Amino acid sequence: MNVIEHPVVNTESGSVQGTIEDGVAAFRGIPYAASPVGERRFAAPERHAKWPGLRDAAHPGPSVPQSPSRLEAVMGSRTPDWNEDGSLTLNVWTPRLPADGSASHALPVLVWFHGGGFTSGSGGWDWYDGRNLAAAGEIIVVTANYRVGPLGYLYLPELGIENLGVQDQVAALAWVRRNIAVFGGDLGNVTVGGQSAGAFSALYLAVSPVTGPYINRVITQSGPFGLAPQNPEEATDHAQGFLDILGLGGGQDPRAALRAVPADRLLVAYQQLSQNLSRPGNVAPPMYPVLGASGIPATWQQALADGRLDGKQLLTGTTRNEMTSFFAFDPRIQAVTADQARSTVAGQIDAGAERFDRTATRLSNATPSDVLTELETEVVFRDGTLAIADHHADAGNTTYVYQFDYAPANDPAHLGAAHCVELPFFFNTFDAYPDSAMLGEATAAVRSLGDTFSRAAAAFAATGRPAAQWHPYESANPATIRHFA
């Protein structure tokens, strides 16, 4: 890349001026859709209007409206930075801009979606800064915001309000298709990835009849694939409960009233709904992508059976102790009895009580809380991840599977390798986690592991192969799972 302190790129909506950071060009806070305010609140995303002159792209846009993450005790706290106005933005990092605007020597593109339980998160946070990942594999990294909570997943289909967060993700991908070439990106070499809720999203985007044809590879990190898309009947009930809390449940068309409610009041009502529905062991948010609504025409099981993931290369994995992030600080889980834990699992899966007993036998001398945490890690995260990998590999598709086993040396909460722990390693952004219980001290050895994991992920996005020493996954063969510790 030519050394230009403030590089400029001409997008469809106007020119943006970024920065150069460690040899990588960063363009942050680029609108991919109009602000979801006024008449655009609770409406499908629309293209952003053109702007005059040069737009400063040195800083990310605000987060979408949200309450604090329920995993703050694990990941670290964040200062609220949300603003509904200007929130539908994305960020682009590229190690090489085209010298003359041409598409020669175009770079592979990774579009990555954050997690947060469809309730919190932002692609603009420094946790997900794409600079080091882009440099690790000579790829372009794109992160994006999408609406979460009630603003993203309130389900009132008769009013056209359904899976708006999914529609935002589709709109971000469409923006990438229309614009990434001017950043040096190759439209024929696109990977979609994400972690947790973002992994759930990435898989469904990859198997979607609308977006799937333009996706070559998929990265899913800790996808909660044991969580089915929300049932429309449940989504309808939760929407009604939300309206009732707001005093808008009288049967009238609530759109105008919803658009007049301040965003912070919507968030308070959503928190109340969450508390009303909270049950020990249930990690599903009140509102998340609904089956049969926009972007989710079928379950992933049906989509795989229909061959919709075939031909795409897959990198997928989990952490060893996913559910500690959700259970370690929940006093209801810590006090659970064996009978209560067995009953919880029995209500989730077939033969759940028997599986609980087998797990308890395998984990000799473990507390009921520990057994439940291990079993829920399997049920919510690992079982589905391996089922997808098994199906994909059996069909002759290139598949790589990892398990992230790193745990901090000082671990008073006994988190182990918790949900989200691989994120600072994936992006190589250790300094963005100064108070993170899941990470602990970022020693030289920890940073070396980050280099290894980040390079492997970037290489997969670039070539479909993460590393020479990482062999493809063989169905039902645990020896072909790559462990990182």
Residue 419 a catalytic site member: yes
Q: Which of 77, 86, 91 is nearest to 21 (CA)?
A: 91
Token code pair at residue 353: 């009580």
User: Is the CB of residue 170 less than 8 Å from the CB of residue 60?
Assistant: no
CA distances (Å), origin 316, targets 108, 109, 390: 19, 18, 11
Q: Is 196 a catalytic residue?
A: yes
Among 238, 419, 422, 436, which one carries the catalytic annotation?
419
d(CA 56, CA 39): 27
Of 35, 63, 122, 196, the catalytic one is 196
- Catalytic-residue membership of 322: yes
Cβ atoms 180, 173 nearer than 8 A: no
Active-site residue, selected from the candidate residues 84, 162, 322, 422: 322
444 by Cβ neighbours in 10 Å (0-12 / 13-18 / 19+) ranks as exposed
CA distance 432 to 454: 16
Dihedral-angle region of residue 184 (phi above 0 means left; psi in -120 to 50 means alpha; beta otherwise): left
CB neighbours (10 Å) of residue 253?
11
Length of the chain: 485
Query: Annotated catalytic sites, by residue?
Result: 196, 322, 419
